[in-house]
């Protein structure tokens, strides 16, 4: 029986991945601390939701038992150094040990563009530094590892383009920090498909893939694309004001102080100092037989829906 444990299976990428894994004939286990979070995937045939703390080494080892492989999607964009370390480094250490103890050798790990496991100290942000250290740890664990490094991921239920569209529906002008930062957005369905292809193709073991779309766009261009796709201001969008660095950091700091998860943090700004585009040194979606979708073709199809 093909059986895979998906860590982070109830999240944005996880929901799309689980749907594609089911279609490919896999039996799936999704671990979650709160069962209600897994409601979007609970209905899928052959999928089991287990309540567990994946940060507990004993629980993690127990979850792995009986599985063919494990896919790690767990990541955070906001937090302090301790949270980044716990999520991106310590968890991967526990995962490597649990895999070795349980005999589950096949591991797929979703990292991020801009990660450099050889020089984590050179990373411009806590996010990228911790992701780099975690990836380095897995690379040294002697597992049958495949790493995928996506650019920013978009899709129908994303918190990225949908957020920009929402902000431009509300405000007449959009002050934007990091407006010139460059991205090469990749469709969530392409990311999910890449994971399934890698899982089923042993020739991908030991390789790292960069996942990116065909367009390179600045953050300001992406915000404008979101507004146009959503039909804001009759499809013209709102004026975007690129904030200078001091005001950008002040805006991010104020957002950090607001209740709930911030829209942007100072660490996000630091991450954007590294262009979120393909290096050209690693294989991409085409090496997996996948033609990357265009954000200009996909995004309007969901942004135009009534909200």
Task: Count structural domains, the chain.
Answer: 1
Helix (H, G, I), strand (E, B) or coil at 150: strand
Residue 172 lies inside a defined structural domain of this protein: no
Q: What is the pTM of this model?
A: 0.96
Residue 205 lies inside a defined structural domain of this protein: yes
Q: What is the largest CA-CA distance in the chain?
A: 59
Residue 302 lies inside a defined structural domain of this protein: no
Segments forming the whole domain that contains residue 10: 3-153+186-212+277-292
pLDDT in tens, 183-234: 999 999 999 999 999 999 999 999 999 999 999 999 999 999 999 999 999 8
Residue 265 lies inside a defined structural domain of this protein: no
Q: Which whole-number Å values give the CA distances from 23 to 59, 64, 80, 296, in the listed order?
A: 28, 22, 38, 27
The yes-or-no verdict on residue 47 having pLDDT over 80 is yes
Residue 253 lies inside a defined structural domain of this protein: no
Residue 257 lies inside a defined structural domain of this protein: no
Residue 224 lies inside a defined structural domain of this protein: no
**For helices 188-200 and 12-23, what crossing angle results, to 10°?**
50
pLDDT in tens, 82-131: 999 999 999 999 999 999 999 999 999 999 999 999 999 999 999 999 99
| Residues contacting residue 74 through CB under 8 Å, at least 6 positions apart | 7, 8, 54, 87, 91
Q: What is the DSSP string of 98-131?
A: HHHHHT--EEEEE--TT--TT-GGG-SSHHHHHH
Q: Which whole-number Å values give the CA distances from 54 to 64, 87, 216, in the listed order?
A: 10, 10, 36
Residue 231 lies inside a defined structural domain of this protein: no
Residue 307's pLDDT band (boundaries 50, 70, 90)?
A: low
pLDDT of amino acid 306 = 61
pLDDT of amino acid 86 = 97
The CATH number of whichever domain residue 23 belongs to comes to 3.40.50.720
- Token duo for residue 40: 């979007």
């Amino acid at each position: 029986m093909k059986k895979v444990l998906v860590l982070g299976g109830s999240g944005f990428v996880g929901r799309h991945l689980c749907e594609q894994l089911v279609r490919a004939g896999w039996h799936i286990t999704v671990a979650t601390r709160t069962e209600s979070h897994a409601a979007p995937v609970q209905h899928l045939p052959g999928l089991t939701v287990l309540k567990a703390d994946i940060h507990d080494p004993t629980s993690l080892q127990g979850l792995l038992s009986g599985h063919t492989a494990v896919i790690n999607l767990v990541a955070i964009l906001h937090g302090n150094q301790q949270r980044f370390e716990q999520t991106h480094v310590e968890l991967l250490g526990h995962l490597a040990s649990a895999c070795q103890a349980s005999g589950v050798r096949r591991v797929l790990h979703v990292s991020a563009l801009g990660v450099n496991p050889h020089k984590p100290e050179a990373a411009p942000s806590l996010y990228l530094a911790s992701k780099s250290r975690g990836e380095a740890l897995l690379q040294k664990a002697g597992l049958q590892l495949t790493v995928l490094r996506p650019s920013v991921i978009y899709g129908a239920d994303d918190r990225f383009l949908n957020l920009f569209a929402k902000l431009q529906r509300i405000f007449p002008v959009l002050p934007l920090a990091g407006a010139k930062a460059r991205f090469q957005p990749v469709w969530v369905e392409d990311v999910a498909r890449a994971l399934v292809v890698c899982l089923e193709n042993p020739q991908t073991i030991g390789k790292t893939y960069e996942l990116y779309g065909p367009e390179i766009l600045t953050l300001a261009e992406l915000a404008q694309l979101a507004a146009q796709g959503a039909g804001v201001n009759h499809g013209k969008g709102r004026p975007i004001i690129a904030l200078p660095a001091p005001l950008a950091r002040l805006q991010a700091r104020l957002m950090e102080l607001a209740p709930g998860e911030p829209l942007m943090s100072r660490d996000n700004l630091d991450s954007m100092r590294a262009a979120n585009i393909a290096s050209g040194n690693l294989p991409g979606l085409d090496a997996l037989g996948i033609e990357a979708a265009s954000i200009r073709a996909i995004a309007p199809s969901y942004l135009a829906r009534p909200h």
